[in-house]
């Protein structure tokens, strides 16, 4: 039901998944269970979200075969460095209750720390050892990617991306290097974007919701998306986007909305640990 994108190492990643940022730990198990019940098979979490254990419990209780799931987590900034990364990976895998991960991402470049290249060496070891099926980065600008070094080209770069922040330069760089672009906050956190007159007019014309129009725009650009919702009806709504298409003119109209407007931190200056 959910199409996949083929990553640069041949691994197939669902183009639409479920994100759990800001889902409180004690609500995550039920939220992920509802998402899996709705049909999601790709889950995006992070050490920083404090809910990996609850994601793991929901996965274990679902009874869904492991090879039908795609699980992503992310290395937090405080864990950057070679040995620190290896330890953080073990801890995440343990919390998730898994014997391998599908995708591991360096969460932020945190350039002031100056350690993401060491973390990438550790990622390459984890990948070579078969403990993770694909490795990638998040919030990396082209300048950060240029300095990554190593042997393995990241499979994914997960960045903030939506019609108000279209990341044309990052997307072009990713595409030119075989890196899949994954959009975080694909709905711009459910804020003004969903009430934008252009989005609303397209929603009315297609008989869809504003969120569905925005998700369809992403999918037609080739982005991987991971919308978050704790509301089961919205989980289902966000999945019901594979039975209609936007015209080229619709996509072009949405592409005029770019304001370069971030809802989250700037990767060049975000160094929190």
Ligand X SMILES: O=C(O)C(=O)[C@@H](O)[C@H](O)C(=O)CO
Ligand Y SMILES: NC(=O)C1=CN([C@@H]2O[C@H](COP(=O)(O)OP(=O)(O)OC[C@H]3O[C@@H](n4cnc5c(N)ncnc54)[C@H](OP(=O)(O)O)[C@@H]3O)[C@@H](O)[C@H]2O)C=CC1
Residue 14 near which of ligand X, ligand Y, none (CB within 5-8 Å, type-dependent): none
Residue 238 near which of ligand Y, ligand X, none (CB within 5-8 Å, type-dependent): ligand Y
The per-residue b/e assignment along 112-132, b for 16 or more CB within 10 angstroms, e otherwise, is: ebebbbbbbebbeebbeeebb
The single residue of 18, 40, 49, 104 carrying the catalytic annotation is: 49
The 61-100 contact track toward ligand Y, x by CB under 6 A, reads ----------------------------------------
Distance of closest approach, residue 99 Cβ to ligand X, in angstroms: 25
Would you count residue 190 as binding ligand X (CB under 6 A)? no
The per-residue b/e assignment along 11-47, b for 16 or more CB within 10 angstroms, e otherwise, is: bebbbbbbbbbebeeeebbebbbbbbebebbbbbbbb
Residue 246 near which of ligand X, ligand Y, none (CB within 5-8 Å, type-dependent): none
- Listed residue (208, 204, 242) closest to 39, CA to CA: 242
The footprint of ligand X on this chain (CB under 6 A) covers a number of residues equal to 6
* CB of 210 closer than 8 Å to CB of 220: no
- In the block, tokens 């950057």 appear at 80
* CB of 82 closer than 8 Å to CB of 118: yes
Tokens representing residue 38 in the block: 């709705």
Measured CA to CA, the distance from residue 183 to residue 210 in angstroms comes to: 17
Helix (H, G, I), strand (E, B) or coil at 92: helix
Tokens representing residue 80 in the block: 């950057």
Which one of 126, 211, 224, 239 is in contact with ligand Y (CB under 6 A)?
211
The 55-94 contact track toward ligand X, x by CB under 6 A, reads ----------------------------------------
- Other C-beta atoms within 10 Å of 67: how many? 7
Residues numbered 92 to 131 that lie near ligand X (CB under 6 A) are: 107
Residue 211 near which of ligand Y, ligand X, none (CB within 5-8 Å, type-dependent): ligand Y
Would you count residue 119 as binding ligand Y (CB under 6 A)? no
Would you count residue 270 as binding ligand Y (CB under 6 A)? no
Residue 219 near which of ligand X, ligand Y, none (CB within 5-8 Å, type-dependent): none
6-14, 187-195, 216-224, 242-250 -> range binding ligand Y (CB under 6 A): 187-195
Residues numbered 11 to 50 that lie near ligand Y (CB under 6 A) are: 19-21, 44
- For every residue of 197-256, DSSP letters joined together read HHHHHHHHHHT--HHHHHHHHHHHHT-EE----S-HHHHHHHH--SS----HHHHHHHGG
Instruction: Check if 82 is active-site.
Output: no
Catalytically active residues, by annotation: 49
Binding site for ligand Y (CB under 6 A): 19-21, 44, 107, 138-139, 158, 184-190, 194, 209, 211, 226-231, 234, 237-238, 264
């Amino acid at each position: 039901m959910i199409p996949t994108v083929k990553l640069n190492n041949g691994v197939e990643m669902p183009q639409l998944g479920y994100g759990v940022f800001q889902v409180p730990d004690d609500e995550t198990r039920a939220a992920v269970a509802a998402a899996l019940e709705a049909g999601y098979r790709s889950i995006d979490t992070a050490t920083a979200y404090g809910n990996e254990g609850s994601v793991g419990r929901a996965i274990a209780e679902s009874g869904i075969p492991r090879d039908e799931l795609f699980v992503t987590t992310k290395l937090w900034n405080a864990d950057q460095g070679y040995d620190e990364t290896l330890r953080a990976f073990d801890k995440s895998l343990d919390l998730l209750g898994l014997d391998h991960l599908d995708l591991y991402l360096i969460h932020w470049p945190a350039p002031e720390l100056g350690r993401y290249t060491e973390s990438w060496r550790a990622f390459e070891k984890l990948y070579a050892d078969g403990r993770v099926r694909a490795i990638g980065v998040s919030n990396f600008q082209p300048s950060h990617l240029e300095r990554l070094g190593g042997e393995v080209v990241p499979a994914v770069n997960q960045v903030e991306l939506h019609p108000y922040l279209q990341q044309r330069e990052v997307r072009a760089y990713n595409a030119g290097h075989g890196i899949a672009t994954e959009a975080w906050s694909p709905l711009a956190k459910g804020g003004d974007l969903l009430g934008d007159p252009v989005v609303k007019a397209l929603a009315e014309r297609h008989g869809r919701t504003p969120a569905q129009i925005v998700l369809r725009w992403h999918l037609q650009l080739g982005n991987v998306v991971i919308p978050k919702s704790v509301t089961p009806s919205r989980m289902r709504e966000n999945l019901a986007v594979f039975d209609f298409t936007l015209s080229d003119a619709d996509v072009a109209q949405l592409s005029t909305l770019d304001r370069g407007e971030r809802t989250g931190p700037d990767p060049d200056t975000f160094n929190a640990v």
